[in-house]
Amino acid sequence: MSNNNNKMTAKAIAGAAFGTVIEWYDFFLYATAAALIFPKLFFPDSDPFVATILSFATLATGFLARPLGAAIFGHFGDRIGRKTALVITLWIIGISSTLIGLLPTYDSIGIWAAVLLLIMRILQGVGVGGEWAGAVLLSMEWGERKKRGLAASIPNAAIGAGMLLASATVTLCITLTGDQFFVWGWRIPFLISFILLIAGVIIRNKVDETPSFKRVADGNQVVKTPILEVLKRHPKQVFLVGMAKFSEHVPHAVFATFMISYVTDNFKISSNYMVNTNAIGSFLSILGIPLGGYIADKIGVKRTYMVGIIFTLLWAFPYIGLIYTETPVLIMLATIVFYLAHNMQAGAQPALVAQAFPAELRYSGTALGTQVAAVFAGGIAPMVCTYLIHTTGTLYSIAVYIGVAAVIGFTGSAFLKNLSSTGSEAEQKAEMIDQAT
């Protein structure tokens, strides 16, 4: 690689990572608020169970909107380039998050408060649905082919940074505003989104289009309707990518979102403690996910991912057992160990799913496969958990739920193929040159 390429690679990875931090800060900020704040401020006329379900339902609508974002930005990402699509997604989620911080609550305008909250969440979902695949591709396609696992994992590590930033900001606001947090203090983290948005747009605008997309464009290989084409050519790959997503996404939704609400409501443990627990886990993800990507480059992307799934499956029941102790330090330990299992999958997953498609269909295939699955994995997981406990009376039903998700993910990843070098002539030639060197 030339010095110029090395510099642009560094810019691309930084642009992908920083933008991802911002977008997932916004997304996880909403998840935290859905567990702690929105049931009280936007659904106060409901009983606690119904209010929690309704709040998590608005959380789920963000996931429901993600396939729409995947279709829209998958199309543009494969038609006009990864960079342009990513800048647009950043604007969408940043503006919608800022507006959440300005929304009137139920006490001011009644049910319309919940309606407006729902609309903002849908816009967030559209933005995130198009962002993840683009950030992964921007980073991976600028990186060295022999280090694709590590390069592709950086945006996923940035998700952990976004979650850490969201958790830290909420904790700081709870501490500083005290009793006023539920009056006006909760708005501050959402309003900060606008400052982060401007910084992210500036950084991403300095990144050039990726070499892989340039080769597709220069070789006149751009597909007219990439979303339809990927479903026509590679429907099985899209489906298998979705299956593979389950084993990573369901457990993460359980320990990073649902358990905050459950432990706070049912045990004598403060919400601040649970938010801090996730902050520690998120910090570990910043380090652990790139490590997972590095290991994937050494022993294989698929093998690393499947080892992470097995780890997840084995920890599901011990995790619930430690939650049942109602001991804060053991609950923290249980959560952190789950983060370690998640990090191994999250480090290998970006390269695993991106390599499942040729360059001219890579954005569409990667986005569609992961974001449709996100609806049925993380999107509805908090509601499923709430329902399972309400009907079975035991947290161990959630361990079974995690186990089923792990089996689905293991099966999908086992049958997933690497089609990264089966696309355009220019891409195949570049692959052969890199392999030779």
Supply the pLDDT for residue 46. 64
Is the separation of the CB atoms in 390 and 325 below 8 Å? no
Each residue of 149-183: b (16+ CB within 10 Å) or e?
bbbbbbbbbbbbbbbbbbbbbbbebbeebeeebee
Burial of 310 (0-12, 13-18, 19+ CB in 10 A): middle
Supply the pLDDT for residue 432. 45
Q: What is the pLDDT along the chain (437 residues), one digit of tens a residue?
A: 456 667 788 888 888 888 788 877 887 787 777 767 777 777 766 666 666 666 667 667 777 888 899 999 999 889 988 888 888 988 998 898 899 889 888 778 887 888 888 888 888 888 888 888 888 898 888 877 778 889 889 988 887 788 778 878 888 888 888 888 878 888 898 898 888 888 888 888 888 888 888 888 888 888 889 999 999 999 999 999 999 999 999 998 888 878 888 888 888 888 778 878 888 888 888 899 999 999 999 999 999 999 999 999 999 999 999 999 999 999 999 999 999 999 999 999 999 999 999 989 999 999 999 988 888 887 788 889 989 998 999 999 999 999 999 999 999 999 999 987 665 554 555 554 444 44
Supply the pLDDT for residue 93. 85
Mapping DSSP to helix (H, G, I), strand (E, B) and coil, where does residue 417 land? coil
Sketch out the chain's domains with CATH numbers.
3-436 (1.20.1250.20)
Which amino acid makes up residue 436?
A: A
Question: How far is C-alpha 199 from the chain's CA centre?
Answer: 21
Residue with tokens 């106060």: 44
Task: Report CA-CA distances (Å) from 89 to 124, 134, 139, 367.
Answer: 9, 9, 16, 13
Write out the DSSP string of 312-365.
HHHHHHHHHHHHTTT-HHHHHHHHHHHHHHHHHHHHHHHHHHHTTS-GGGHHHH
Supply the pLDDT for residue 50. 67
Distance in angstroms (rounded) separating the CA atoms of residues 73 and 128: 10
Say what the pTM is.
Answer: 0.80
Supply the pLDDT for residue 310. 96
Is the separation of the CB atoms in 155 and 167 below 8 Å? no
Supply the pLDDT for residue 435. 44
Name the nearest CA neighbour of 404 among 250, 214, 261.
Answer: 250
Supply the pLDDT for residue 203. 83
Q: For the chain, give the number of residues.
A: 437
Write out the DSSP string of 248-284.
HHHHHHIIIIIHHHHHHHHSS--HHHHHHHHHHHHHH
Which amino acid makes up residue 123?
A: L
Name the nearest CA neighbour of 371 among 66, 13, 105, 17.
Answer: 66
